[in-house]
Amino acid sequence: MATIAIAAPHPAAVEAARQVTAEGGGLIDAALAAAAALTVAYPHQCSIGGDLVALVRDGVRGTVRSVLSAGAAAAATDPARLRAAGDRMPPGGPLTVTVPGVVAGWAELARLGARLPLARSLAPAVALADGGVPVSEGLARAIRNRLDVVRADAGLSALLLDKTGDPLPVGATLLQPALAATLRELSDDWRHFYTGPTARRLVAGLRERGSLLDATDFADHRAENTAPLSAADNAIGVTWWVAPPPSQGASLLAVLGHGTDPLTAARQAELSRDALLGDPRSGTVDLEGLLLRAERDVTALPAGPRPAGDTVAVTAVDDEGNAVSLIQSVFQSFGSGIADPATGIVLHNRGSAFSLDPAHPGALRPGARPPHTLCPALATAPGRVVSLGCQGGRAQAWILSQVAEDLLDAPSPDAVLARPRWVIGSRDLNRPHPTLVLEPGTPDTDRLTATAHRLGLEVSVTQGPHDEAGHVQTARLRDGEPDAATDPRADGTTAVIVGLGAG
């Protein structure tokens, strides 16, 4: 028997993990079931119409792999057309939809060690979509916050408003029969999403709305299984692992490597990421600059759209040292603001992160992947494995940096996640200027405030714990004992499951 610790931002995800482990599933099956359930329960944050980035550790070999399933812009993309309309990408709509990568990402994760067929891991999600799931506080809040976007789209309106046109309240039953049918189709063959009937319906719906994506764009998508970035901190005997570009994982390593002044490092990493991050498949990416290992002349660039409620993280470890940190996202709440009625799929707006400057590494180009905020992380040290990830948009790197080291040894991971935190950002935090946002009681507030003023940042204090500080999920193995914790800012839960299968 394997013992698995798992954390996720919604109880339905953890229940799905319990179901598949009871049938002999191992760590990866549990993570996949949780991830699939979240695409049903949390449509404001993730969907099979979004992207996925994950890290997977093999406990026997001690190796870590990165799965990047980030979709590309259409081959027919015309950057000049968008540049003629303005200096930045639109925040939503059909031209911000890139090929969704979640489903291909699930398939690649399954290939790395699932014990059950992918269809079995999807079964709890199918049941949730068919039978309904109660609207959580987070989902109800997202509907209210983006009510104009929801009402502007027929698919979102049918999904999220009641018969009188009012937002579904907390506890109302969210039914998704079209999504259930799509998930059943993908259970027969996940490739249907990219080359089969699902793809045909989805492409037809997108093109009716003005998208340039076509059947070839979908058929060309592949999840990338690649080596992660890593950095060793010999002082504390730990190795950190993150996903490579186009993920912003390098920014987390940059901040962790400058622990004496984390705010200055975070601001430098933010500016470097905004100036240097792009898709290595379509151009050169300055990794040394992203890691702050080399000085670069970077200037503040306009922030992208505000990605509120953009992401879910599933973290899991087992008692054999296997680990998964999985993040999937629609970017902004409800993504592009499009829910395709034929398939029940909410489409992300990940393409809004492209730059319209043709000289930028993250420039919009045909077939390019946009710069990515998704930032899963793992840590390994003698007797310890930590999986962590968070919701938090562009601030994910600095959010994780405030908890990562303490999670290695803290007796209570829950206490670490409950501590007040800070973030920096501007438009992505709904601030007009670069700002340090502090929760009340954040450690070293005076020092952070003085540093912020030196860096030219405005300072804002929230009234209490706030979504902007992120929703961190973590699972750990310490001295042979798995445990997990979920952020009190979210709707999440954890479990330690004794299953039949190994990782």
Q: Mind telling me the catalytic residues?
A: 311
As a whole number of angstroms, the distance between CA 165 and CA 459 comes to 39
Using CA atoms, how far residue 78 sits from 139, 252, 358, 365, in Å, is 35, 33, 12, 8
CB 188 within 8 Å of CB 203: no
Q: Which of 84, 456, 80 shows the shortest CA–CA distance to 300?
A: 456
Residue whose C-alpha is closest to residue 402's, from 472, 478, 326: 472
Q: Quick one: tokens of 503?
A: 């990782």
Q: Is residue 151 classed exposed, middle or buried when 0-12, 13-18 and 19+ CB atoms within 10 A define those classes?
A: middle
Pairing of strands 229-233, 238-242: antiparallel
CA distance 358 to 425: 24
Distance between alpha carbon 319 and the CA centroid of its chain, in Å? 25
Whether omega before 246 lies within 30 degrees of 0, making that bond cis, reads: yes
| Sequence-distant (≥ 6) Cβ neighbours of residue 162 within 8 angstroms | 168, 172
| CB within 8 Å of 290: residues ≥ 6 apart | 245, 250, 251, 254, 269, 272, 273, 276, 277
Cα 491 versus chain centre, distance: 16
Characterize the bridge pairing of strands 435-438 and 458-461.
Answer: parallel
Q: How far is CA 351 from CA 71, 140, 306, in A?
A: 9, 26, 13
Only one residue has tokens 């029969």, namely: 177
Residues 6+ apart with CB under 8 A from 152: 337
The token duo for 133 is 């799931």
Looking at 228-351, which runs of residues are DSSP E strands?
Answer: 229-233, 238-242, 311-318, 323-329, 338-340, 345-347
Owner of token pair 């990219």: 194
Task: Quote the CA–CA distance of 389 and 404 in Å, as a whole number.
Answer: 10
Amino acid at 496: V
* Phi, psi (degrees; rounded to nearest 5) at 174: -95, 110
